[in-house]
Structure 1
Amino acid sequence: MKRTVPLLLAIVAAIGAGYWWFVLRPAEAPAAWQGWVEADSLFIGPEVTGRLTHLSVARGDRIEKGGALFTVESDVAAAQVRVAEAAVAQAAAQLDAANASRQRPEEIDVLLAQEKAAKAALEESRLEYERAKTLAAKGTAAVSVLDQARAAYDRDTAELEQVRHQIAVARLPAREPDLKRAEEALAEARANLEQMRLQAGKHAVTAPATGTIQEVYYRAGEVVSAGNPVVALLPPSALKVRFFVPEAVLPRLHVGDTIKVTCDGCTAGKATIDFIAEEAEYTPPVIYSLEERAKLVFRIEAVPEKPEALRVGQPVSVVPEAGS
């Protein structure tokens, strides 16, 4: 009986300890995964090969979208633009000439003077014809006189019509095929000018996004090949938190979940998972933890809400957001 009491007390103590462990013990903080801040910089170079004539930024500068970055030598391109502008002016002059009268103004003035003289002659012959008709009606003029007066009136009428037709023809523009060719030549010259201006615009490069200059690879005076980066620009939106989780944790995380990011000397922030690797990999070469990690891990990337508070390469700790 004496031995039974201590045994019962031991059993009760074990049960109490178990109850405390599973029910009353304080909740453990969620496991923290170690990671770091990554960024995909924009490597910006010219579309044409040339000598770098001007560099507007230095490493560490912050630049707004559309701000000037650098300029590549553009003397040849500027000359091509001037040639194209001259071609447009020439084609426009040719079209104006095609739309203008076929004869010079001085020649048209001569025809106008002839028209004036023909009108006067017609008026005189009309009066003679009217007088001859009156006399012939009274019987005081011969029929031949009336016939001559009518012939003179018809002749002067025809001459006036002829002069007026000559004036109309002189004022006509070029023929339709000639006009069409002139219009097509002007359109082609304008298109070529636009192309030359676009080509010249490629020599001055601006920032495609707001960000910070991370690196400068060329200096003014050096020759840059087309496509070679001159500067590396880092927009805030390019920052990402990259971390790795063990295989057992993977089912609990999904794209769109919110995580909490902490780092030494900075305030806690949130990030949204936007990528989860489909394939497993071994422990990454850079890992900011002294604890032992599983060799089989999955890479996860998240977009921080406040990227300006982070720096590229900065080690961070990640925990799932409460309720996610």
Structure 2
Amino acid sequence: MRPFSPLLILALGLTLMACDKGPEDRLLGYVEGDYVYMALPEAGRLTEIAVKRGDHVDAGAQLFALDATAAQARLDKAKADLKEAESKLADLKLGERPEELAIIQAQLESARASLMLSEPRVKRRRELVKDNVVGIEDLDAAEASILEDRGRIAEYTARLAAANLPDRTDRIAAQEAAVSAFRAAIIEAQWSVDERKAIAPAAGSIEDVYFRLGEEVGAEQAVLQLLPPANIKLKLYVPEPLIGTYRVGEKLAVSCDGCPAGLTARIDFIASKAEYTPPVIYSDTSRAKLVFLVEARPDPTAPADFQWHPGQPVEARKAAAGS
């Protein structure tokens, strides 16, 4: 039998070393999703579910809605209260109405006319008193009538002047405060109406729906589960002797069963504490050894029809330089 050449032995040795190294530079892990649990701040009856499990939704799409009858009624009442308060404030700033001004003006004219009659009457009574035709009492009554007319003229003149002025400053300030309070009530009521509908904060897939149409939902109780693509991450485990060779921002080449070639991810978290290999990670070389958790975010370069699935096992290695 011809002996092996030294070069062939060296080549075989290097090949075996490379095969042994393979598992050491391979990181095992799985896909995980940071789910968004869609809930509303107030309780209510579910009146609309616009999606089902497995649907893809765009950002801003309506997901579900609760009964808004009571909230809409509060909003309508707040709007009516504001309209009434604004009308009262405008009335206070304008003063009396034209019809009320006309009444005061008529009363003033009546007092002036009465005075015009009372003054000649007093003169006649004085002549009659001199001639002893009437008593002094009649003269006193005529003079009292003049004083009464002059008093009425002064009163209606003052009332007319006051009626043409705005209302008192303190009453106007109080009404302005009431208007501000009703405007705030409208904002609160409008918020309550708006919060009866759940809107998708980002595009993503509906992973689960927990309620059916017509059921009662508690305040802040999740109705469905949304998973945006940006919330996908890879949880990988690095053996303790190799943890010092990995850096945040480092690029990894990722592979998984049935996945397209060329998938990559970047490390965005490295745990500061070691742990034992999770039971879900099956590896003869790393089982029961200390490892460090590393999280990586997939690069958005995957094919459009490719989708990561939470729980899916993955493998990762350091990406080759220049890849």
What is the TM-score of this pair, normalised by structure 1? 0.73
- Which runs of structure 2 are paired with 1:268-279 in the superposition (5 Å)? 268-279=262-273
Structure 1 equivalent of residue 308 of structure 2 = 310
- Indicate how the Cα distance of structure 1 residues 25 and 200 shifts in structure 2: closer, same or farther if over 3 A, else same: closer
1:85: how far off?
1.4
Instruction: Work out which of the residue numbers 52, 57, 71 in structure 1 matches 2:51.
Output: 57
State the aligned residue count: 270
CA deviation string 1:104-136 (max 9, x = no partner): 346348749989xx9xxxxxxxxxxxxxxxxxx
SS at match of 1:248: helix
1:259: how far off?
0.5
Task: Provide the identity percentage.
Answer: 34
Unaligned runs of 5+ in 2: 113-154
1:198: how far off?
1.0
Measure, in 2, the Cα distance between the counterparts of 1:290 and 1:18. 28
SS at match of 2:273: coil
Instruction: Work out which of the residue numbers 174, 185, 207 in structure 1 matches 2:200.
Output: 207
1:280: how far off?
1.1
Unaligned runs of 5+ in 1: 1-9, 119-161
- Indicate how the Cα distance of structure 1 residues 35 and 23 shifts in structure 2: closer, same or farther if over 3 A, else same: closer
- Which runs of structure 2 are paired with 1:1-324 in the superposition (5 Å)? 31-105=25-99, 107-108=101-102, 111=105, 168-267=161-260, 268-289=262-283, 293=287, 295-306=289-300, 309-323=307-321
1:61: how far off?
0.9
SS at match of 1:221: coil
What is the TM-score of this pair, normalised by structure 2? 0.73
Measure, in 2, the Cα distance between the counterparts of 1:50 and 1:99. 44
Larger mean CA deviation between 289-298 and 313-322 belongs to: 289-298
1:293: how far off?
3.4
Conservation of the 8 A alpha-carbon contact between 2:239 and 2:286: no
Structure 1 equivalent of residue 131 of structure 2 = none
Larger mean CA deviation between 20-29 and 99-108 belongs to: 20-29
Conservation of the 8 A alpha-carbon contact between 2:104 and 2:160: no
1:22: how far off?
8.2
CA deviation string 1:140-170 (max 9, x = no partner): xxxxxxxxxxxxxxxxxxxxxx999875533
Structure 2 equivalent of residue 3 of structure 1 = none
Larger mean CA deviation between 233-242 and 264-273 belongs to: 264-273
- Indicate how the Cα distance of structure 1 residues 227 and 279 shifts in structure 2: closer, same or farther if over 3 A, else same: same
SS at match of 1:102: coil
SS at match of 2:47: strand
1:17: how far off?
6.7
1:102: how far off?
2.4
